[in-house]
């Protein structure tokens, strides 16, 4: 694979670093960010495969596979993989989302060639043996049990299910006890063979690195890999409409009520996502936010109160969360509804919007203080947008948001049909008619 066939270009700087992008002949995209002032380097391989790519029978396969790839490759055992990273004091991990999976490692800058070799070996050459499937099946089932025992996590999975229904985007990333129990080695390995197309992957590296050196390492790691599968399936679009369930109660004998109230949001490609970010910060992004002040500071009804949004390729969600004593749930919910209604009708003042913009700016800058966070930003940006915006460009987008922009997004999103999900010691119909 000759360098003459590899296209390379510089991108806008990200927080002082130099970002460079290359595309290998087989379609693999490499983005690096040079951070000369640090002694660490982080590498991540981003795969455009997540739980949204699963049928009902394969629910949880993406996450199950994430576990299995660490169990051994054609040339390394699980112990070999762990020992190689431990020997250099490195960190090696992975995570699965709705639309992508990432395998990443952080090491001293001098050990980056080892990290690139190990991470790429795990992603490209895993054996997925039957005995490992059985071992990791138990681990994943324990993970599901842990999620079920943590109502603050469970309520968000149940909210997605209530909002989107029993669809790939609505089902939990972990899968269910039934789906994980039924999965076979053949199904999982087949999913791996079909979905993990090297030519669709993004390799992101940040830290004290030289792009040309990293490019040689990545070329070597991917030298025998084919390009993208021309028959690769696209995801079916998820129509944005009313929530599948207006009220969804999960009865659980807990000492706290966990409430999520929300609805459909914006896709990650919607240019209004910056206005939504400001709106979310103003509603529940910090201690000065509307809901934090009204629910916690003024009335002491809850310890944890916040807003959140998620954007996918064709849809999104927006919601607010509160955790409180069960006896206070009705009052807390009433305040959540009242404040969302007020914001929907334009009653968010300029000072709140300016604080929301300040929170977004601070989050962008302060979240880029280490090589791992820089790697995550450039890798995800390249994977989902096909480009990497510089930090100054992002800050300009935030600064350009006007009160009118925020009001328009609030009016549209917060007047849509809402979905309430509650996990706590309640009956199925205790919250009927509340939203």
Q: For residue range 217-234, list pLDDT tens digits in order.
A: 999 999 977 766 544 556
* Residue 235 maps to a domain: no
Are 209 and 326 in the same domain? Answer: no
* Residue 386 maps to a domain: yes
Range 372-391 average pLDDT:
94
Locus of tokens 């590498």: 43
Are 73 and 37 in the same domain? Answer: yes
Question: Is the confidence at residue 4, as pLDDT, over 80?
Answer: no
* Token pair for 419: 């979905």
Are 42 and 142 in the same domain? Answer: yes
Locus of tokens 């890999």: 225
Are 98 and 196 in the same domain? Answer: yes
Are 374 and 255 in the same domain? Answer: yes
* Alpha carbons 248 and 306: distance in angstroms, whole number: 20
Are 271 and 371 in the same domain? Answer: yes
pTM comes to 0.93
What is the share, in percent, of the chain residues with pLDDT greater than 70? 94
Are 59 and 150 in the same domain? Answer: yes
Question: Is the confidence at residue 8, as pLDDT, over 90?
Answer: no
* Residue 240 maps to a domain: no
Torsion angle, alpha carbons of 52, 53, 57, 62, to 10: -90
Are 322 and 372 in the same domain? Answer: yes
Within 8 A by CB and 6+ apart from 165, the residues are: 244, 245
- Host domain of residue 271: 247-424
Ramachandran angles phi, psi of 369, nearest 5°: -90, -10
Q: Which residues make beta-bridge pairs with 33?
A: 19, 206
Q: What angle do CA 97, 99, 104 make, to 5 degrees?
A: 55
- Please identify, among 181, 203, 221, the residue that sits at the C-terminal boundary of a domain: 221
What's the pLDDT at 231?
44
237, containing H or E segment: none
* Pairing label, strands 419-424, 247-251: parallel
Active site residues: 66
> Which CATH number does the domain housing residue 317 bear?
3.30.830.10
Indicate the burial class of 350 (C-beta count within 10 angstroms; 0-12, 13-18, 19 or more). exposed
Are 212 and 300 in the same domain? Answer: no
* Token pair for 412: 């549209």
* Contact in structure between 88 and 55 (CB atoms under 8 Å): no
Range 198-217 average pLDDT:
96
**pLDDT tens for each residue of 149-193:** 999 999 999 999 999 999 999 999 999 999 999 999 999 999 999
**pLDDT tens for each residue of 84-120:** 999 999 999 999 999 999 999 999 999 999 999 999 9
- Please identify, among 169, 187, 221, the residue that sits at the C-terminal boundary of a domain: 221
DSSP 8-state secondary structure symbol assigned to residue 215: H
* Residue 228 maps to a domain: no
Are 256 and 195 in the same domain? Answer: no
What is the share, in percent, of the chain residues with pLDDT greater than 90? 86
* Residue 233 maps to a domain: no
Question: Is the confidence at residue 417, as pLDDT, over 60?
Answer: yes
How many domains, the chain?
2
* Residue 231 maps to a domain: no
DSSP symbols for 122-171: HHHSB---HHHHHHHHHHHHHHHHHHHT-HHHHHHHHHHHHHH-SSTTTS
Q: How confident is the model at residue 9 (pLDDT cuts 50, 70, 90)?
A: confident
Q: How many CA atoms lie within 13 A of 10 on its CB side?
A: 7
Are 111 and 256 in the same domain? Answer: no
- Please identify, among 221, 236, 260, the residue that sits at the C-terminal boundary of a domain: 221
What's the pLDDT at 240?
66
* Residue 153 maps to a domain: yes
* Contact in structure between 275 and 406 (CB atoms under 8 Å): yes
CA 248 to mean position of chain CA atoms: 24
Are 28 and 76 in the same domain? Answer: yes
* Residue 276 maps to a domain: yes
207 sits in the region (left: phi over 0; alpha: psi -120 to 50; else beta) called left
Ramachandran angles phi, psi of 46, nearest 5°: -105, 125
* Contact in structure between 379 and 31 (CB atoms under 8 Å): yes
């Amino acid at each position: 694979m000759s360098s003459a066939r590899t296209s390379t270009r510089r991108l806008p700087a990200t927080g002082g670093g130099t970002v460079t992008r290359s595309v290998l002949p087989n379609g693999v995209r490499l983005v690096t960010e040079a951070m000369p002032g640090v002694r660490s380097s982080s590498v991540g391989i981003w795969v455009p495969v997540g739980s949204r790519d699963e049928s009902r029978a394969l629910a949880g396969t993406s996450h199950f596979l994430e576990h299995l790839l660490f169990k051994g490759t054609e040339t390394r055992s699980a112990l070999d993989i762990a020992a190689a990273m431990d020997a250099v004091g490195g960190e090696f991990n992975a995570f699965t989302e709705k639309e992508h999976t990432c395998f990443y490692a952080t090491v001293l800058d001098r050990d980056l060639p080892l990290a690139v070799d190990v991470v790429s070996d795990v992603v490209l050459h895993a054996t997925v043996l039957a005995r490992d499937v059985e071992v990791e099946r138990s681990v994943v089932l324990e993970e599901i049990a842990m999620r079920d025992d943590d109502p603050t996590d469970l309520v968000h999975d149940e909210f997605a299910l209530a909002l989107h229904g029993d669809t790939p985007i609505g089902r939990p990333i972990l899968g269910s006890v039934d789906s994980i129990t039924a999965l076979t080695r053949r199904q999982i390995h087949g999913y791996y063979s079909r979905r993990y197309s090297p030519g669709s992957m993004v390799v992101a590296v940040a830290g004290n690195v030289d792009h040309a050196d990293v490019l040689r390492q990545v070329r070597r790691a991917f030298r025998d890999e084919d390009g993208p599968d021309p028959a690769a399936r696209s995801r079916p679009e998820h129509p944005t409409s009313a929530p599948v369930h207006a009220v969804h109660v999960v009865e659980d004998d807990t000492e706290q009520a966990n409430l999520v109230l929300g609805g459909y949001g914006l896709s990650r490609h919607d240019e209004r996502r910056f206005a939504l970010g400001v709106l979310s910060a103003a509603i529940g992004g910090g201690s000065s936010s509307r809901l934090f002040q009204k629910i916690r500071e003024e009335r002491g009804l809850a310890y944890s109160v916040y807003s959140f949004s998620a954007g996918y390729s064709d849809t999104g969600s927006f919601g607010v969360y509160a955790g409180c004593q069960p006896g206070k749930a009705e009052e807390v919910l009433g305040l959540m509804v009242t404040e969302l209604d007020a914001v929907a009708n334009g009653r968010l003042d300029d000072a709140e919007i300016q604080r929301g913009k300040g929170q977004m700016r601070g989050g962008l800058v302060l979240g880029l203080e280490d090589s791992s966070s820089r790697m995550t930003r450039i890798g995800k940006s390249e994977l989902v947008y096909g480009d990497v915006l510089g930090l100054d460009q992002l800050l300009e987008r935030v600064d350009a948001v006007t009160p009118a922009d925020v009001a328009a997004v609030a009016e549209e999103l917060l007047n849509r049909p809402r979905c309430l999900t509650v996990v706590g010691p309640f009956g199925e119909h205790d919250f009927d008619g509340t939203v």
